[in-house]
Chains A and B, each alone.
Chain A
Amino acid sequence: MKGIKLVSYVTIAIFLGMILLGQCVVYYANPYSYNITVNQGEEAEYNVDTSYNVPYTAVSMNSSRNPDIKDYYLVSDEYLKFGYNGTSIPDQIKIIVNEMKIYDINLKVINSKEAGNIMSDEILHDSFRCMILFISGYLDSSIYNGTTESLVLEWVHSGGTMYWSGGPIGKCISFENGDILEVKSYSNVFFDTDNAVRDQKNTLYARNLQEGSLTSKLSMLYNSCTFGLRTETLKYEHLSLDYSCDGYSSVTCVKIDNGMITVFGGVVDRFMAQVIASGISYDTKIIECDKIAMNRGPSSGTLKLNDSGSTFVYIFLGDLTVKGARLFVLPP
Chain B
Amino acid sequence: MNRFRELLETKKNSFSLKSTTKSVLFILMIGLIIRLVLAPFTGNEYDITYWASFIGDMESGYLLYGAGSLWYPPIWGYLTAGIGYLLNLLGAVPLDVLLLGIHDTTIIEAGRYAMTVPIFNLAIKLPLIISDLIVGWLIYKFIMDKTNDEKKAKVGLMLWLFCPLTIYMSAIHCQFETLCVLFMIISLLLMFRGSYFFAGVALSISIITKVFPILLLPLICVYILFVKRNDLRYGFKSLLTMIAGFMIVSLFIMLPVIMNGELHEVFNFLTSRVAVPPNVMGDELNISDILKTYSTIVSISIVGIVTLISSYILFRTHEDYNSVFLKMTLVIMVSFFIMPFSNFLPQYYVMLIPLLALITALYKNLISIWAAISLITTVLCLCYINWMYPIGLTGLVDMDSMIMWVKGNHPVIITLSHAMEFIYHFIGIGTFVILWIKLGITSFIKTVCAKQ
**Which positions in A face B, CB cutoff 8 Å?**
1, 3-5, 7-9, 11-12, 15-16, 18-19, 21-23, 25-28, 30-32, 52-55, 82, 85-88, 94-95, 98-99, 101-102, 201, 203, 205-209, 221, 223, 270, 293-294, 296, 318-324
Q: In the complex, what distance in Å separates the CA atom of A101 from the CA atom of B62?
A: 9
Are the CB atoms of B96 and A208 closer together than 8 Å? no
Within the complex, the shortest CB–CB distance from B37 to chain A, in Å, comes to 25
Most A C-beta atoms less than 10 A away, residue of B82, B189, B278: B82
Are the CB atoms of A12 and B201 closer together than 8 Å? yes
Q: In the complex, what distance in Å separates the CA atom of A220 from the CA atom of B186?
A: 48
Are the CB atoms of B198 and A9 closer together than 8 Å? yes
Chain A residues within 8 Å of B103, by CB: 207, 209, 221, 223
Q: Given that A12-B201, A53-B94, A320-B101 are known contacts, is A4 also in contact with B114, CB under 8 Å in the complex?
A: no
Within the complex, the shortest CB–CB distance from B241 to chain A, in Å, comes to 15
Q: In the complex, what distance in Å separates the CA atom of A179 from the CA atom of B68?
A: 32
Chain A residues within 8 Å of B279, by CB: 86
Closest to A19 in B: B78
Spot the interface stretch: B137-145, B222-230, B437-445: B137-145
Within the complex, the shortest CB–CB distance from B364 to chain A, in Å, comes to 22
Are the CB atoms of B282 and A207 closer together than 8 Å? no
Within the complex, the shortest CB–CB distance from A129 to chain B, in Å, comes to 27
Within the complex, the shortest CB–CB distance from B81 to chain A, in Å, comes to 4
Q: In the complex, what distance in Å separates the CA atom of A3 from the CA atom of B21?
A: 13
Are the CB atoms of B58 and A25 closer together than 8 Å? yes
Within the complex, the shortest CB–CB distance from B260 to chain A, in Å, comes to 7
Within the complex, the shortest CB–CB distance from A82 to chain B, in Å, comes to 8
Within the complex, the shortest CB–CB distance from A135 to chain B, in Å, comes to 16
Within the complex, the shortest CB–CB distance from A2 to chain B, in Å, comes to 9
**Which positions in B face A, CB cutoff 8 Å?**
53, 56-64, 66-68, 75, 77-82, 84-86, 88-89, 91, 94-97, 99, 101, 103-106, 109-111, 114, 127, 134, 137-138, 141-142, 145, 182-183, 186, 189-190, 193, 195, 198, 201-202, 205, 249, 252-253, 256, 259-260, 278-282
Are the CB atoms of B77 and A22 closer together than 8 Å? yes
Chain B residues within 8 Å of A27, by CB: 63-64, 256, 259-260
Q: In the complex, what distance in Å separates the CA atom of A294 from the CA atom of B183?
A: 39
Chain A residues within 8 Å of B88, by CB: 52-53
Are the CB atoms of B94 and A293 closer together than 8 Å? yes
Closest to A31 in B: B85
Are the CB atoms of B60 and A102 closer together than 8 Å? yes
Q: In the complex, what distance in Å separates the CA atom of A274 from the CA atom of B18?
A: 62
Chain A residues within 8 Å of B201, by CB: 12
Chain A residues within 8 Å of B94, by CB: 53-55, 293-294
Chain B residues within 8 Å of A25, by CB: 58, 81-82, 84-85
Closest to B146 in A: A1
Candidates B114, B193, B256; contact of A28 at CB < 8 Å: B256
Candidates A9, A21, A207; contact of B111 at CB < 8 Å: A207
Chain A residues within 8 Å of B280, by CB: 85-87
Q: Given that A15-B205, A19-B78, A293-B94 are known contacts, is A4 also in contact with B256, CB under 8 Å in the complex?
A: no
Are the CB atoms of B58 and A26 closer together than 8 Å? yes
Q: In the complex, what distance in Å separates the CA atom of A41 from the CA atom of B138?
A: 67
Q: Given that A1-B145, A27-B260 are known contacts, is A54 also in contact with B96, CB under 8 Å in the complex?
A: yes
Q: In the complex, what distance in Å separates the CA atom of A101 from the CA atom of B201?
A: 37
Q: Given that A53-B91, A209-B104 are known contacts, is A98 also in contact with B190, CB under 8 Å in the complex?
A: no
Chain A residues within 8 Å of B86, by CB: 21
Q: In the complex, what distance in Å separates the CA atom of A82 from the CA atom of B141?
A: 56
Are the CB atoms of B81 and A8 closer together than 8 Å? no
Q: In the complex, what distance in Å separates the CA atom of A99 from the CA atom of B338?
A: 42
Could you give 30 example pairs across A and B, Cβ below 8 Å? A1-B193, A4-B142, A4-B190, A5-B190, A5-B195, A7-B137, A8-B202, A21-B82, A22-B78, A22-B80, A22-B82, A26-B81, A30-B61, A32-B59, A55-B97, A86-B278, A86-B279, A88-B278, A94-B68, A98-B62, A98-B66, A203-B109, A207-B106, A207-B111, A320-B56, A320-B99, A320-B101, A321-B56, A321-B57, A324-B60
